């Protein structure tokens, strides 16, 4: 749902209420309800608006406040804008980074305003998917070599005389155009605009038996609600995506990581230690994301529910 040149999304991704801060001012929410610094100060967390990110950010925010006594400012920002915030002093933490080797090079290696803060524990996989009913009816459709045979099924008013591959947020970095060209596929990328658009389309496609080929990612709560099947693109091999124009392979599995500002790493004290120590599973993230997305809970309430149910998991994250 949300993605580096070596991968999508995200991921993807992803989003229910897209952040448009890249074109205007960031929406700022003070998670503590007060803009005044506490004794420990304020931690500024970028919110990339996909459910899994919000789940991780919600738990980190809750623990910073309740266990360590920090105030937290959350800012809804597009992915690249979040990285720019390190240089401007507007962002301390990006909770979930999907690759972005280009941004790492710029902001970590060259400008030296950001550093890596370890894995989130989540494994990110981007790919192309179809609803399960299509596999039942067309068993060979998950082999990319057969996609041209089925292109007619995927035609839409937006794709014209080609099959449609539905994409999400246009800010996601992706390989779709190169894959279509280099694999000689008779398809066109159509931008749906958001994670929400992908989710709605996938849900309707399965329920109403509509053809759909779309870009999506795991982890995501959608897989527990809608039966989907992944299309098998040529397997990923080391550096097969090194040249963006020549990509002809599937996305790599990513070890999702956290990125923080250099200043926060140097002076953030226990807040930085908590962020660095944070690591959980796809299943844990999906449970919190599901509560936020489908059960009407705020990120804070969903985080509280998970924290109260899993003290043995997060206890080791809290600095002594």
pLDDT of residue 294 exceeding 60, the answer is yes
Q: For residue 181, what are the CA distances in angstroms to 152, 167, 172, 230, 251?
A: 18, 16, 19, 20, 16
The verdict on pTM exceeding 0.75 is no
Separation of alpha carbons 47 and 226, rounded Å:
26
pLDDT average, residue stretch 171-190 = 94
State the Cα–Cα distance between residues 307 and 95, nearest whole angstrom.
17
Instruction: Phi first, then psi: give them for residue 262, nearest 5 degrees.
Output: -60, -40
Q: Which of 121, 120, 69 is nearest to 93 (CA)?
A: 120
Q: In a 10 Å sphere around its CB, with 0-12 CB exposed, 13-18 middle and 19+ buried, how is residue 220 labelled?
A: buried
What is the structure's pLDDT at 9? 39
Average pLDDT of the segment spanning 77-92: 96
Domains and CATH numbers, the chain: 27-123+256-317 (3.40.190.10), 125-246 (3.40.190.100)
Q: Judge contact between 108 and 114, C-beta under 8 A.
A: yes
Mean pLDDT along residues 95-107: 95
């Amino acid at each position: 749902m949300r993605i580096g040149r070596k991968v999508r999304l995200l991921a993807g991704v992803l989003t229910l209420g897209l952040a448009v801060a890249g074109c205007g001012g960031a929406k700022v929410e003070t998670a503590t309800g007060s803009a005044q610094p506490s004794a420990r100060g304020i931690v500024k967390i970028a919110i990339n608006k996909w459910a899994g990110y919000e789940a991780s950010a919600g738990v980190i925010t809750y623990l910073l406040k309740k266990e360590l006594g920090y105030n937290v400012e959350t800012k809804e920002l597009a992915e690249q804008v979040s990285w720019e915030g390190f240089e401007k002093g507007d962002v301390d933490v990006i909770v979930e980074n999907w690759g972005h080797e280009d941004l790492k090079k710029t902001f970590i290696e060259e400008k030296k305003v950001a550093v890596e803060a370890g894995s989130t524990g989540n494994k990110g996989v981007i790919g192309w998917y179809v609803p399960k009913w299509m596999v039942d009816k067309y068993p060979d459709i998950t082999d990319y070599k057969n996609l041209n045979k089925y292109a007619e099924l995927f035609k839409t008013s937006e794709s014209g005389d080609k099959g449609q591959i539905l994409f999400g947020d246009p800010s996601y970095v992706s390989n779709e155009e190169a894959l279509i060209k280099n694999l000689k596929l008779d398809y066109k990328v159509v931008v749906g605009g958001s994670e929400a658009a992908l989710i709605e389309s996938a849900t309707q496609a399965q329920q109403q038996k509509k053809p759909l080929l779309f870009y999506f990612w795991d982890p995501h709560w959608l897989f527990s609600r809608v039966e989907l099947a992944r299309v098998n693109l040529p397997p990923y091999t080391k550096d097969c995506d090194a040249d963006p124009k020549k990509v002809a392979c599937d996305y790599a599995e990513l070890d999702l990581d956290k990125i923080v500002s250099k200043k926060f790493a140097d002076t953030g004290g226990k807040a930085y230690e908590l962020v660095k120590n944070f690591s959980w599973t796809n299943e844990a993230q999906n449970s919190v994301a599901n509560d936020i997305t489908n059960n009407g809970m705020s990120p804070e309430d969903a985080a509280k529910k998970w924290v109260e149910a899993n003290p043995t998991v997060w206890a080791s994250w809290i600095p002594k």
